[in-house]
Each structure stands twice: as structure tokens, then as C-alpha cells.
Amino acid sequence: MHTVHSLQQDLQQLGIKNTDTLLVHSSLKSIGAVDGGGEAVLDAMIGYLVPAGGLLVFPALTYHLNAANPEFSVADTPGIVGTLPELFRKRPESLRSWHPTHSVAAMGRDAASFTAGHHHFDSPCARTSPWGRLADRRAKILFIGTGIGCNTFLHGVEEWFGVPDMLSRDPEMLYTNTPDGSRLPVPCRRHQGHHSTWYYKTEPVLAASGALTTGRFGDASCHLVDAWGAMETVYGMLHQDPLIFTRD
């Protein structure tokens, strides 16, 4: 049975500093039995990072919204990327960015400035959005029991590089309903294609560059990715072949 204390030891063994910015992609069931369940997993991460000045971030994605279903409530629309992100989003101390399809939830150092302004961009992962700020903060990205294919940050890297036809040409009009009762129109372009199908190609390259390491969190096999190093490495791959993530 894993505990808050043992999971914090696992974070340390993975090489995560308690002052880091950490984005987590997760499969809760892969962690195994935890005394206190998913809330205890969050207690471990929050207790490890937040008091020491770290920032904990989870995706809170709602990419199912579209022109036929355009209303996004910052406070109430559930994310669709798993149990831990949704539990984290609901915590009172958690702050959520206001992008209708690709919001993040954050807690800790500079969480307000980290999440601010996301709704001002018409693409999901603009370079100066929270997804780009992960690189600027030299964040770490932890994949708990998942492959690195579920890597929204790499969608961002492709977007910033300017991969041809990565983004839809015409935006859909979606609406962000803010906690203060405002309804903000947000034109949104979409990531196109199924590029994450081929993100497995990055794994050996990132490992060779030192931007990817492996370890365990509870029972789960994990990958830990350095955001800045991954951005630079993937830029190099895209310079060689801008369409590398569109085919085998």
C-alpha cells in the first residue's frame, strides 16, 4: 500500500526538485493501491511542491467542445483527461486557465500569472500561453503509467515550429464563461491530424539527448521529460522533416 510519504519519496527518486514546475499526465489505476486513493496522490504532489515554491500543473482539456457545443465554464466544465486532473481541478486552491479547449489547472508559485491570458489566443497551445510557459520555466513533464504519446506540450512544439496544416485555417467561435459571470467570445482554431500517434519517435531521441529519463511512481512506470530540452530536440527533428509526426 502506497502512502503520501512513499509517493513523495518516489518524486524525489525520479529527480523532481520540490521547487520545480511539474506538469502531470497520469493513469491513476497504474499507481496501484494508495492509502487515501486519488486525493492522497494529489496530497503527495501538492505537499512536495507547493510549500517549497514549486508549481503543480495538470491538463484540464475540453477539446470535445465545438461550434455546436460552444460553452465552456471555467468553474464547472469537467476536463476529459482522467481522474487525477479532474480531482485537482476541483480543489479550491487550484486555478484554471480560460481557454475553451486546452485549459490547464495549476497550484503553487505564480499560478495566477502562469494561467493568465490563455483565452487571448486563437490556437490551443500558443508559444506565450501556459503551454509555452512550461518551456520558459524549464518545467518537467511527468507521464505516470502512460506513454509519451499523450503529450500536449509536443502539439505546442509543432504549433510553434509552424508544421504545415497543423492548425485549422478557420476558427470556430466558442465562449468562455468566467467565474465572475462574464461570457467571453474566443475564436478557436484546432490541431489537425493524429500527430500523437507518431510521438513515439521522440522517445529514443529525447533519451539520447538527456531530456527523457524513466522511473517509478507507486507501481507505475514513468517517463520524465525536460520541457526545454524536449522543445529544442523536437525542433531539430522537425528541421530535418517537418512532417515526421504525420506518418510512419
Residue 149 has pLDDT above 90, yes or no: no
Pairing of strands 71-73, 172-177: parallel
What average pLDDT does range 135-151 have in this prediction?
94
pLDDT of residue 248: 80
pLDDT of residue 235: 97
Residue spans of the domains in the chain: they are 4-246
Residue 153 has pLDDT above 90, yes or no: yes
Contact (CB, 8 A) for 102 and 125:
yes
Q: What angle do CA 147, 221, 104 make, to 5 degrees?
A: 55
pLDDT of residue 216: 98
- Record the pTM: 0.96
pLDDT of residue 150: 85
Q: What is the pLDDT of residues 213-230, one digit of tens each?
A: 999 999 999 999 999 999
Per-residue confidence band for 42, with pLDDT thresholds at 50, 70 and 90: very high
pLDDT of residue 247: 86
What mean pLDDT is reported for the chain?
Answer: 97
Contact (CB, 8 A) for 188 and 121:
no
Q: What is the pLDDT of residues 7-18, one digit of tens each?
A: 999 999 999 999
Contact (CB, 8 A) for 31 and 82:
no
Among residues 211, 247, 204, 203, which one has the least CA distance to residue 232?
211
Q: What is the pLDDT of residues 167-224, one digit of tens each?
A: 999 999 999 999 999 999 999 999 998 999 999 999 999 999 999 999 999 999 999 9
The whole-angstrom separation of Cα 9 and Cα 56 is 17
pLDDT of residue 160: 97
The DSSP bridge partners found for residue 183 are: 177
Q: What is the pLDDT of residues 69-127, one digit of tens each?
A: 999 999 999 999 999 999 999 999 999 999 999 999 999 999 999 999 999 999 999 99
